[in-house]
Amino acid sequence: MPDRGGGPTGPRIRVGRPSRRVRTLLMTLGVLAVLGMAFTMFAGFWTDWLWYRSVNYSSVFTTTLWTKIGLFFVFGLLMALAVGFNIWLAHRLRPPLSAMSMEQQNLDRYRMGIAPYKKWLLFGITALVGLIAGASASGQWRTWLMWVNGVPFGQKDPQFKLDVAFYAFDLPWYRFLLGFGFAAAILSVIAAALTHYLYGGLRVTSPGARATAAATGHLSVLIGIFVALKAVAYWLDRYGLAVKSSDFRATDNWTGLRYVDANAYLPAKTILFCIAVICALLFFATLWRRTWQLPVIGFGLMVLSAILIGGLYPAIVQKFQVQPNEQAKEAPYVEKNLEATRKAYGIDGTKVTDYSGTGNTEDKTKLRDDVDSTASIRIMDPNVVSPTFQQLQQIRNYYAFPENLDVDRYAKDGKDQDTVIGLREINLAGIPKKNWINNHFRYTHGYGVVAAEGTSADAQGRPNFTESDLPSKGDLGTYEQRVYYGEKTTTYSIVGGPQKEIDYSDDNGEKTTSYKGDSGVNLSNPVNRAAYAAAFGEPQILYSGAIGDGSRILYNRTPKERVEAVAPWLTIDGDAYPAVVDGRIQWIVDAYTTTNGYPYSSRTTLGDTTADSLTAANDNRAVVAQQNQVNYIRNSVKATVDAYTGKVKLFQWDTQDPVLKTWMKAFPNTVEPKSDISKSLMDHLRYPQDLFKVQRELLTRYHVKDATTFLSGSEVWQVPDDPTNRSGSAVPPYYLSMKMPDQQAQSFSLTTTFTPTGRDNLSAFMAVDAEAGTGDYGKIRILKLPTNTTVNGPKQVQSQFNSQEEIAESIRLLRGGDSEVEYGNLLTVPLDGGLLYVEPVYVRGGGLKYPLLRKVLVTYGGQTAFENTLDEALNKIFGADGPVTQPPPDEGDTTPPPTSDNPTVQQALEDAQKAFDAGQEALKKNDWEAYGKAQKDLEDALQRAEDAQAEASRAGGSGGGESKPSAKPSGSPSPKPSS
């Protein structure tokens, strides 16, 4: 039937048309703009494809791409068809005549206006909603792949007896489908209602019926579909209770059913499901009854039921049944949560042992001997000594080390030792002259590994380097030293072409090289060059003469970035670390599979639980995907990135993880079997820090196994703040080779401490066996201290260090002048029933820009020592003549150790002691004149001791170097001589 129109038409106004030249120009500009946008989009797609192909993970790109495209078109088309069909149907059901009212006369204007463009308008509306829906659906590619490839967990939830895979893989997809259905129904109702109103099927002010029978039937069916979907939602909500999060007993993100859920919400959801089904049938019945009366009554009943049954009834149950006897009512559900949470986070095998915390100090000689067998105490803090590495081993300004170095194990003389290690990476901020060629063609890579013993320092407090210099040499043997991929390598480089790269510099000048690897994307193809010029916004890539045959562009060069790109379904650990493996530098990256659909397991936010004082100071140490909420995590993949070629390998580590098996089905041939891990690589794998931090956070509450204790809250712990700085953030876990009381030998471990909530005394010590390839790898041990005695925690130990008068005075002297004192990692070691605390103290000052180890703080059993070396401090604590490690002399220094056998030296040291004591007395009296005289006497006495010692050395024929007595502690501007 023709559309009605009417109303006067106004006079036509003729507007002058632009000239042909202007029209041609505008058309040309429009075409160029469209082509430019199209090429930019193509460039992004093409460069992504080239990169994935270059790293041999093109299947990841194609699988992800085709999945997104499929979801986009399927759900975009479904939404477009749903909305378009209902607009078409509403137009077809329009009434032939309408009341001659002002409302309809006004609508006639709009009907006449859109009449010539109806088809185009219909196409535009459906295309728009289709594009939006398709784009939204394409973002669900992970949900789709997990649903279609899901592998059973082999574990059932305690309430509905369904496999965990239903909640982890199936339920998220069903919820997406349900959300899509709701969106389609709502948009269809809105579109149909507007169309009916425009063409007279619905009336607001016109006389007569407010809706035609056809409009009533059409809209009733659509609303009936919406209500039917609501019925499905009520049914799925029943299962959703098993993964529902809530606050309970000050526990954020508590997950699973509680008493009120099982006894109020669950039956309420079932009743509401039945009511919604009946209400939907009443809406469908309007096709025959043509009245809104029954559907409206049914819909009102459903809303009222949702308020009373779904809201008020559970509140009454909670108030009058649960709260008066909460512990008894909630205990069975708490036990389910305890069991599920411990299993989902891999902490169900945690061994908790009572530990006295107060050692037997009677046999101090035995204790001194036990220290060496219990732990290889690391006094080189990798988070402090990076500036020292930088100053002593940077060699050139265009090299740099990471802010936080790493701890690894390397064999020396047949024995593994803890080693602090870092790579000399490229630092573009330090190149002599910055320009495009230098930034991207000349300075392209770092060079070499620098490593130092973790348990010792030299005479000046510097690291004892086991691998150093440029090119690096030492204990690591021969390996490919060029570092094209690293943590600080964040920009692109173009290598392998006519432009030579700076390799390194030595006394003979600059050495150049040309990249020989097969990494990166070849730029000899002009299409590739144009694509990268557009993608990187750098037109010089297109026409630069520095690019030619063999030129390759390297980008996505940080290890975490590369692993995340080739495995977007993994969560990446915040700390990638380097290792020399089989003659190559390999970055080792830990990766996790996660889900937030494990029933009854409490959720945690990764960014919150993995935060500590190191991540607060350095964002590069933070876990990737910090906002992810998970309630299941496994370190399922160990990845490596070659520092020269950038080659990425993914190794299956957890062979039982169903989430990893699901992703391996979705992306076949991307993860290599665990058996392919070589022995040399296995020696450097370790337990990951971020997983450990997640587990320790959960164990603050979930170390208990019975519901009564959990509900009482009497055993809740906390991770203490780092006492060595003022960040207010949690103390980081520390790697340390040590043995727990039930172990026979030392093993590489990751350790941490716990304190009671709101208190500073120690409540527990936790360690996990971090040595991969061993039978106990991943075994968590907790030493639980008694609650009826007080054992000092880290903060109290640090306060004790700072409050002792003698130590405080020594610290003050170390801070003399412009020097700064930096505290290293406060290590905790269980020792014969007690706890040994060790903390290195560094001094940065006196014109030095880097910290040097000057002192070591040690406490055990209430005794504290502050000495020049760890051995001296341990000997003082235990009152035993244990071994004293003499720091190795500087290269070329043949001076013998100082001795006090020379009476002249002895007298000079005694005079120095007297002068020092006189100076301290003068300080207390604020007598600066006397203090100045005492400092002059001290200087004269030390000089006499030095001269006498040098004379004795020459007389003994020990060679010419200068000798300094041991009386003067390194770095102290006002030293206290030792007689």
Q: What is the pLDDT of residues 743-789, one digit of tens each?
A: 888 899 999 999 998 888 899 999 999 999 888 999 999 999 988 88
Q: Which of 9-13, 347-351, 732-736 has the lowest mean pLDDT?
A: 9-13
pLDDT top residue among 325 and 880: 325
586 pLDDT above the threshold of 70: yes
Q: Give residue 976's pLDDT band: very low, low, confident or very high (50, 70, 90).
A: very low
pLDDT of residue 554: 96
Question: How far is it, in rounded angstroms, from Cα 227 to Cα 139?
Answer: 27
Question: Given phi > 0 = left and psi -120 to 50 = alpha, else beta, which region is 807?
Answer: alpha
pLDDT of residue 66: 96
Cβ neighbours, 10 Å, residue 293: 10
Radius of gyration of the chain from its Cα atoms, rounded to whole angstroms = 37
Containing H/E element for 860? strand 852-860
pLDDT of residue 265: 93
pLDDT of residue 880: 66
DSSP calls for 508-536 = TEEEEE---S--SEE--SHHHHHHHHHHT
926 DSSP 8-state letter: T
Give the closest residue to 453 by CA, choosing from 435, 468, 442, 469.
468
970 pLDDT above the threshold of 50: no
252 pLDDT above the threshold of 80: no
Q: How wide is the angle at C-alpha 256 spanned by C-alphas 597 and 753, nearest 5°?
A: 85
888 pLDDT above the threshold of 50: no
Q: Give residue 909's pLDDT band: very low, low, confident or very high (50, 70, 90).
A: low
pLDDT of residue 972: 36
Q: How far lies 880's CA from each of 226, 417, 749, in Å?
A: 82, 25, 28
pLDDT of residue 241: 94
DSSP calls for 317-364 = HIIIIIGGGHHHHHHHHHHHHHHHHHHHTT-TT-EEEE--S----S-H
In the numeric block, the tokens 């953030």 are attached to 729
pLDDT of residue 16: 54
Contact 763, 352 (CB under 8 A): no
- Residues 654-658: what's their mean pLDDT? 94
Helices and strands (H and E) in the chain: how many: 31, 35
pLDDT of residue 3: 42
892 pLDDT above the threshold of 50: no
Give the closest residue to 334 by CA, choosing from 235, 267, 261.
261
pLDDT top residue among 893 and 128: 128
pLDDT of residue 9: 46
Q: What is the pLDDT of residues 424-459, one digit of tens each?
A: 999 998 888 889 999 999 999 999 999 999 999 988
Q: How wide is the angle at C-alpha 169 spanned by C-alphas 166 and 172, nearest 5°?
A: 95
Percent of residues, the chain, with pLDDT higher than 90: 50
CA atoms within 13 A on the CB side of 109: 8
pLDDT of residue 905: 60
Question: How far is it, in rounded angstroms, from Cα 333 to Cα 341?
Answer: 12
Q: Give residue 971's pLDDT band: very low, low, confident or very high (50, 70, 90).
A: very low
165 pLDDT above the threshold of 90: yes
Average pLDDT score over the chain: 85
Q: How wide is the angle at C-alpha 82 spanned by C-alphas 77 and 84, nearest 5°?
A: 90
729: buried, middle or exposed (CB in 10 Å: 19+, 13-18, 0-12)? Answer: middle
In the numeric block, the tokens 């069991």 are attached to 339
Give the closest residue to 344 by CA, choosing from 215, 167, 462.
167
Q: Which of 34-43, 512-521, 917-926 has the lowest mean pLDDT?
A: 917-926
Question: How far is it, in rounded angstroms, from Cα 625 to Cα 570?
Answer: 10
Contact 879, 421 (CB under 8 A): no
113 pLDDT above the threshold of 80: no
CA atoms within 13 A on the CB side of 488: 23
SS3 category, 127: helix
Q: What is the pLDDT of residues 667-724, one digit of tens each?
A: 999 999 999 999 999 999 999 999 999 999 999 999 998 888 888 888 899 999 888 8
DSSP calls for 254-272 = EES--HHIIIIIHHHHHHH
Q: What is the dihedral of CA 676, 681, 682, 685, to 10 degrees?
A: -120
Reading the block at residue 722, the tokens are 């780092």
- Residues 143-157: what's their mean pLDDT? 95
901 pLDDT above the threshold of 60: no
pLDDT of residue 719: 93
Contact 484, 557 (CB under 8 A): yes
Reading the block at residue 587, the tokens are 């970055």
Question: How far is it, in rounded angstroms, from Cα 720 to Cα 752?
Answer: 9
- Residues 408-436: what's their mean pLDDT? 89
CA atoms within 13 A on the CB side of 502: 21
Reading the block at residue 17, the tokens are 């048309």
Q: Give residue 932's pLDDT band: very low, low, confident or very high (50, 70, 90).
A: low
pLDDT top residue among 864 and 207: 864
Contact 153, 165 (CB under 8 A): yes
Q: What is the pLDDT of residues 15-32, one digit of tens each?
A: 456 677 777 877 888 877
pLDDT of residue 268: 93
Percent of the chain that is helix, strand, coil (3-state, to 5): 45, 20, 35
Q: How far lies 901's CA from each of 424, 434, 950, 952, in Å?
A: 45, 59, 13, 10
pLDDT top residue among 217 and 590: 590
Q: Give residue 563's pLDDT band: very low, low, confident or very high (50, 70, 90).
A: very high
Q: Give residue 149's pLDDT band: very low, low, confident or very high (50, 70, 90).
A: very high
pLDDT of residue 897: 40
Q: Name the β-bridge partners of 537.
A: none
pLDDT top residue among 360 and 127: 127
pLDDT of residue 883: 52
Helices 20-54 and 526-535, packing angle to 10 deg: 100
Question: How far is it, in rounded angstroms, from Cα 837 to Cα 217?
Answer: 79
Reading the block at residue 811, the tokens are 């610290």
